[in-house]
């Protein structure tokens, strides 16, 4: 008979690099590989503890002197759109949603390049080529979907063109927006907000209680839009709590806000009582390193 022994996930730490959200801060990530039979269970369990997925890696900010990146999610049952959000829904009524398998297309990549060149030309993903884009979309060991949004083509009856795309993970308790991008020429349509609103409706239709938005960073203008969603809660000090006034989180950027790495790992709850361990920092491959993880869209 063949027996499979449980494999302890190894946690690593990246080298510091400039923070993309707060000027003058240095960013560092705690990460682990996402693979094997436990991949979906790991993604479900660690997403509830502030981790995010990038391809076959789960990561969480673990900066040496700052804990300002707070995972955010929306309670679907309690969400009621604001007046401005209802206007966004009406403005985009012509959009059609289609959920597909995690497979990259030329149309997606063309839209992705236009989005980056227009909004994030100097960002960490600016030099991604078609092969890296395909890896971002397709290299997933968990249940992922590509949600495409199309609009009618003017003067061409029946034809539609791609307006926005979201790579979405299906968790046991919600939908996680891994990365989204949209037509920069439609900036006035607030497509980033629209995709979140539509994911809330999609989660409600399949009885999933949460929509995970990635990180909210108090003090970062790029992340301010997330605080405008009702029923938002953030993962702070080891628990999910309703969002309070941003001033309440001033201590997250204090040098003493971050516990030691070994203590952080010891607090991580793993599925099926899997053992955990931490290893010193090492330079992971370019393909697997979360240094190139998708940035939270701003």
Q: Is 84 helix (H, G, I), strand (E, B) or coil?
A: helix
Q: What is the pLDDT of residue 154?
A: 82
d(CA 186, CA 151): 11
Mean pLDDT value of segment 55-59: 96
Residue 275 pLDDT greater than 60, yes or no: no
Residue 58 pLDDT greater than 60, yes or no: yes
Residue 285 pLDDT greater than 60, yes or no: no
Q: What is the pLDDT of residue 3?
A: 41
Q: What is the DSSP letter of 198?
A: H
Query: pLDDT category, 4, cuts 50, 70, 90?
Result: very low
Domain-wise residue ranges, the chain: 10-292
Superfamily of domain 10-292: Gcn5-related N-acetyltransferase (GNAT) (3.40.630.30)
Mean pLDDT, the chain, integer: 87
Largest Cα–Cα separation, the chain:
66
Q: What is the pLDDT of residue 142?
A: 96
Mean pLDDT value of segment 141-146: 96
Residue 33 pLDDT greater than 90, yes or no: yes
Mean pLDDT value of segment 266-280: 68
pTM listed for this prediction: 0.88
SS (H, E, C) 2-34: CCCCCCCCEEEECCCEECCCCCCCEECEEEEEC
Query: pLDDT category, 7, cuts 50, 70, 90?
Result: low
Query: pLDDT category, 291, cuts 50, 70, 90?
Result: low
Q: What is the pLDDT of residue 190?
A: 96
43-49: long-range contacts (C-beta < 8 A, 24 or more apart)?
Answer: 43/142, 43/169, 43/171, 44/171, 44/172, 44/173, 44/271, 45/269, 45/270, 45/271, 46/268, 47/169, 47/171, 47/176, 47/212, 48/173, 48/240, 49/235, 49/268, 49/269
Residue 21 pLDDT greater than 60, yes or no: yes
pLDDT (tens digit per residue) in 181-224: 999 999 999 999 999 999 999 999 999 999 999 999 988 888 88
Residue 35 pLDDT greater than 50, yes or no: yes
Phi, psi of 181 (to 5 degrees): -155, 160
pLDDT (tens digit per residue) in 231-271: 999 998 889 999 988 778 777 766 666 788 888 888 999 98
pLDDT (tens digit per residue) in 65-124: 888 899 999 999 999 999 999 999 999 999 999 999 999 999 999 999 999 998 876 767
HSE, side-chain direction, 13 A CA sphere, residue 179: 18
Q: What is the pLDDT of residue 288?
A: 44
Q: Which of 142, 207, 208, 204 is nearest to 178 (CA)?
A: 142
């Amino acid at each position: 008979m063949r027996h499979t022994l449980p494999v302890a996930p190894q946690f690593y730490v990246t080298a510091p690099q400039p923070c993309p959200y707060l000027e003058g801060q240095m960013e560092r990530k705690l990460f682990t590989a996402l693979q094997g039979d436990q991949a979906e269970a790991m993604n479900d369990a660690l997403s509830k503890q502030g981790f995010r997925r990038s391809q076959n890696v789960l990561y969480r900010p673990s900066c040496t002197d700052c804990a300002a990146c707070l995972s955010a999610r929306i309670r679907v049952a309690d969400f009621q759109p604001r007046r401005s959000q209802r206007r966004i829904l009406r403005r985009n009524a012509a959009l059609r949603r289609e959920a597909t398998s995690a497979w990259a297309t030329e149309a997606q990549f063309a839209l992705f390049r236009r989005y980056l060149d227009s909004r994030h030309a100097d960002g960490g993903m600016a030099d991604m080529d078609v092969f890296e884009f395909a890896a971002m979309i397709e290299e997933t060991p968990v249940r992922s979907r590509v949600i495409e949004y199309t609009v009618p083509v003017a003067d061409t009856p029946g034809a539609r063109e791609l307006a926005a795309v979201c790579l979405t993970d299906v968790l046991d308790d919600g939908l996680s927006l891994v990365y989204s991008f949209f037509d920069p020429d439609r900036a006035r349509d607030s497509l980033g907000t629209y995709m979140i609103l539509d994911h809330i409706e999609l989660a409600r239709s399949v009885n999933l209680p949460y929509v995970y938005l990635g990180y909210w960073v108090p003090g970062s203008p790029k992340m301010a839009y997330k605080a405008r969603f009702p029923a938002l809660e953030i993962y702070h000090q080891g628990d999910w709590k309703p969002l309070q006034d941003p001033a309440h989180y001033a201590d997250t950027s204090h040098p003493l806000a971050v516990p030691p790495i070994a203590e952080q790992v010891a607090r991580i709850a793993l599925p099926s009582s899997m053992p955990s361990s931490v290893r010193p920092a090492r330079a992971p491959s370019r393909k697997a390193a979360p240094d190139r993880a998708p940035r939270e869209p701003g």
